[in-house]
Structure 1
Amino acid sequence: MVSTFGRPGYLRRAMEAGAAGFVVKDTPAAQLADAVRRVHQGLRVVDPSLAAETLVAGRSPLTARELHLSEGTVRNHLSAAIGKTGARTRAEAVRISLDSGWL
């Protein structure tokens, strides 16, 4: 998979969906070509620093239901999502979730 976003949550979801590799689109051309060849050989290719960041970040604390609610229902669950992310405000919870690749 080639992605614009090198975020832990994106890498985790890609690998769980069966991707054999994950690189960001600004990877130098020679490295990208090497990654494609290695995946074609049956190997896995993941940027080591992104892999480490993914391990440190862990899984999203938000449930699937909290991520896919209607606008009206969001208000009912917002305080739980804010608490799970450790944020102080809705905006901060969104920023934390985006930065972690959970959204």
Structure 2
Amino acid sequence: MIPILIADDQHLVRGALVALLGIERDIEVVAECGRGDEVVPAVRLADPRPRVALLDIEMPGGGGIEAAAALREANLGCRSLIVTTFGRPGYLRQALAAGASGFLVKDTPPEQLAEAVRRVEGGLRVVDPALAEESLFTPDCPLTPRELEVTRAARDGASVREIAARVYLSPGTVRNHLSAVIGKTGAANRHAAVRHAEEAGWL
């Protein structure tokens, strides 16, 4: 049996994944959680310990990419497989860089998802084919780490002063970073630039 953990903050989605994979004769769901910061503790406590963790991208307490990195750091023998609605090349690159062994979208047929679990548990890498092809023709994120930080802080429409307080920079420096982000994304304003960065999977 392949013991697995499923992490998704949407109860219906998590329940559906548990039900779908629970009927596989060689896969056993031994743990589940709804927050990114619960993944490593849940893996530690589960018996038997999961060998594959299915992670959603966006969850409270840190998303699936952060959880994948934490699993790699914890060295618990549990590989991570991102299963998400957000099939974006930027997210794919971030997930693989964080140590994820696979990346699939949630409309993947159940039999393919089960096979992906088996392949990841066997040490292979599994990536949604269409997304892998798209990522070949999508440029890498052009934003610097500081520009990304400022852009994340601007996601909720905060003012320049509010953003400055969040990232511990002066309002003038924040304006400079936002201007650079607007220029690099080709957006008309910072709100459009934030949307562009989100849709590209850079944030």
Q: Name the one with the larger strand percent.
A: 2
C-alpha distance after superposition, 1:43-72 (max 9, x if no partner): 111011101211211211111111113612
How many residues end up aligned between the 2 structures?
Answer: 103
In 2: Cα distance, 1:82 partner to 1:57 partner: 18
Q: 1:26 matched to which residue of 2?
A: 107
Structure 1: gaps spanning 5 or more residues: none
Q: Name the one with the larger helix percent.
A: 1
Matched, 1:51 2:151: no
Greater Cα radius of gyration, structure 1 or 2: 2
Identity of aligned residues (%): 64
In 2: Cα distance, 1:95 partner to 1:13 partner: 18
Which of the residues 172, 182, 196 maps onto 1:82?
182
**Structure 1 runs, 4 residues or longer, greater than 6 Å off:** none
Aligned-residue Cα RMSD (Å) equals: 1.5
In 2: Cα distance, 1:56 partner to 1:89 partner: 25
Alignment TM-score, normalising by the size of structure 2: 0.47
Amino acid in structure 2 at the alignment position of 1:43: L
Query: Larger relative contact order (C-alpha < 8 A, sep ≥ 6)?
Result: 1
Amino acid in structure 2 at the alignment position of 1:8: P
Alignment TM-score, normalising by the size of structure 1: 0.89
Q: CA deviation at 1:25?
A: 2.2
